[in-house]
Homo-oligomer: A and B are copies of this chain.
Amino acid sequence: MIKDKIICGDAIEEMKKLPDDCVDLIFADPPYWMRVEGVLNRVEGTPYDGCDDPWDNQFETINDYNNFTRDWLSECKRILKPDGSIWVIGGMQCIYTIGAIMQELGFWFINDVIWYKRNPTPNFKGTRLNNSHETLIWATKSEKARYTFNYKTAKELNTDTVEEEKFKKGVRKQLGSVWRIRVCKGSERIKKDDGQKLHTAQKPEELLYRIIAISSNIGDLVFDPFGGTMTTAAVAKRMGRHYLSIEKESEYCKYGERRLNGVTPIIGNIEKAVFDKKPLRASMKEMIAAGYFIVGETFYLKNFTEGGKLLSDGKLLYDGKIVDIHRCAALAKGSKASRLNGFNTWYVLRDSRLVSINDIREKYRKFKLNNG
């Protein structure tokens, strides 16, 4: 499989050369149909294509744009792995068409995400509200897909709803669907040799950083059909992912190669998604067999209330009934719920002191990790 490459060519034609189910993550920033001027533009307004190209003429009507959208999305769906996911970004001119076609093609939406710009261009004319956001759609190929979502890593990155001071102290909240991110400006902006900016719609690296951190793992292949300034590829490489980007404009490809050559991977906890690593499975039954719990011993609540006697199958005898530790937790606490997390509820006596069964489980997991 081709990877870590920029392909200079037409997105749809080049995608057709790729095999089925070959990429883990797609980020797409497609051209959009601006009906005001009848010119095909990127979000924020730069012309997408040279006007001498006959490819332009396909976009004379909204119907042509729909067909184009359906074509590239269909190819994306084909090359995306069953458990992979896709992000598409767009402004109000195109995102509704794109979203509707995605649903028509069977894509299943995980979230739509708002990029709420910290420093949008003001609307000088005062004829409408200042357009200060763009929309991203995050989706899978099907409802059943078990997509990568590094929930805790996302939480770790959440600067949107936690004030800066609290954030520094380590306070983290569940990440939401509105992301406050700066527009790409200053030194981040790729300049041509003549000092002019290469592209007016260059996406900020922070946006791609979040997307890749949240929805992919180290070593995954990140694909971008409309590579542009190669932000997707650059951030993917920096984060230890593989990349593959298609771009039609040879000038963008040239500067993109140069940009990618300057990127060195930096792999930290976020990149490795260590917060989301799943612990070893540890059933009560096997912990009893390993001697970490003793059949017949009493389980207590934190306040020393007796909560049941341990049976050999890992369940508890409580009030004459045999129930699992989670159900028993709900009963003992008088909860309306049928089950509560037993590991956060129960304590046992060790050296005359109460010890959380969760702590004991952690010890067992370390043992299991070291001893096969």
Nearest chain B residue, comparing its CB with the CB of A335: B45
A177 sits at the interface (CB 8 A) = yes
User: Does B41 lie within 8 Å of A337, measured CB to CB?
Assistant: yes
C-alpha spacing A177/B117, complex, angstroms: 10
A60 sits at the interface (CB 8 A) = no
Which chain B residues lie closer than 8 Å to A44 at the CB level?
A: 335-337, 340
User: Does A133 lie within 8 Å of B178, measured CB to CB?
Assistant: yes
Residue with the greatest number of chain B CB neighbours at <10 A, chosen from A45, A111, A129? A129
A104 sits at the interface (CB 8 A) = yes
Size category, A interface: 35 or more
A207 sits at the interface (CB 8 A) = no
A363 sits at the interface (CB 8 A) = no
State how many angstroms separate the Cβ of A207 from the closest Cβ of chain B.
14
- How many copies of the chain does the oligomer comprise? 2
- Partner pick for A176 among B99, B112, B130, B340, CB 8 A cutoff: B130
C-alpha spacing A62/B105, complex, angstroms: 11
Which chain B residues lie closer than 8 Å to A45 at the CB level?
A: 330, 335-340
User: Does B99 lie within 8 Å of A112, measured CB to CB?
Assistant: no
Which chain B residues lie closer than 8 Å to A100 at the CB level?
A: 96-97, 99-101
A250 sits at the interface (CB 8 A) = no
A279 sits at the interface (CB 8 A) = no
C-alpha spacing A103/B65, complex, angstroms: 12
Asked whether A133 and B177 contact (CB < 8 A) given A114-B114, A126-B151, A149-B128, the answer is yes
Asked whether A62 and B336 contact (CB < 8 A) given A130-B175, A131-B111, A175-B130, the answer is no
In A38-97, the 8 Å CB interface with B consists of 41, 44-46, 62, 92-93, 95-97
Which chain B residues lie closer than 8 Å to A151 at the CB level?
A: 126-127
- Partner pick for A111 among B111, B128, B138, B337, CB 8 A cutoff: B128
A109 sits at the interface (CB 8 A) = yes
Mask for A118-160, Cβ within 8 A of B = 1, else 0? 0010110011111111010110000000000101001000000
A-B contact pairs, 21 of them (CB 8 A): A44-B335, A45-B336, A95-B96, A95-B112, A96-B99, A96-B137, A97-B99, A100-B100, A110-B128, A110-B129, A114-B116, A116-B116, A122-B174, A127-B149, A129-B154, A129-B176, A130-B175, A130-B177, A131-B176, A133-B178, A135-B135
- Give 18 new A-B contacts, CB below 8 A, not counting A123-B174, A126-B151, A128-B149: A45-B330, A45-B338, A62-B103, A92-B111, A92-B137, A93-B109, A95-B112, A111-B131, A113-B129, A114-B116, A114-B178, A126-B174, A127-B151, A129-B175, A130-B175, A130-B176, A130-B177, A132-B178
